[in-house]
Amino acid sequence: FMMDASDPTQLSASCVQLLGLLSAEQLAKASVLILFNKIDLPCYMSTEEMKSLIRLPDIIACAKQDITTAEISARKGTGLAGVLGWLQATHRGNG
């Protein structure tokens, strides 16, 4: 699930969408990676502030799924190695 870390005005809409996905029965057993993308752009709010504002720790604690978060820049490639590592670890043994 990708969130735009450079645009806090989308935060509540993204959060509602995320909560909808996490509560969907078909996704109860999904492994979830939440990406905060565009960390290369300046923003009046830090990613930590954004996480706190949507109460991400509570969301993670209450969700049935295993949730990982990563801060990335798809443009610069920042955090890409971590994303690939997560994909590899999560899908190991799944063919």
Ligand X SMILES: Nc1nc2c(ncn2[C@@H]2O[C@H](COP(=O)(O)OP(=O)(O)O)[C@@H](O)[C@H]2O)c(=O)[nH]1
Largest CA distance in the chain: 43
Q: What residues line the site for ligand X (CB under 6 A)? A: 4, 37-38, 40-41, 73-75
Closest to 32 measured CA to CA, from 42, 21, 43: 21
Segment 2-31, which members bind Mg ion (CB under 5 A)? 4
Closest C-alpha among 39, 41, 42 to residue 51? 39
* Residue 41 binding: pick among ligand X, Mg ion, none (C-beta 5-8 Å cut-off by kind): ligand X
Choosing among ligand X, Mg ion, none, which partner's interface includes residue 14 (Cβ < 5 to 8 Å by kind)? none
Residue numbering of the annotated binding site? 37-40
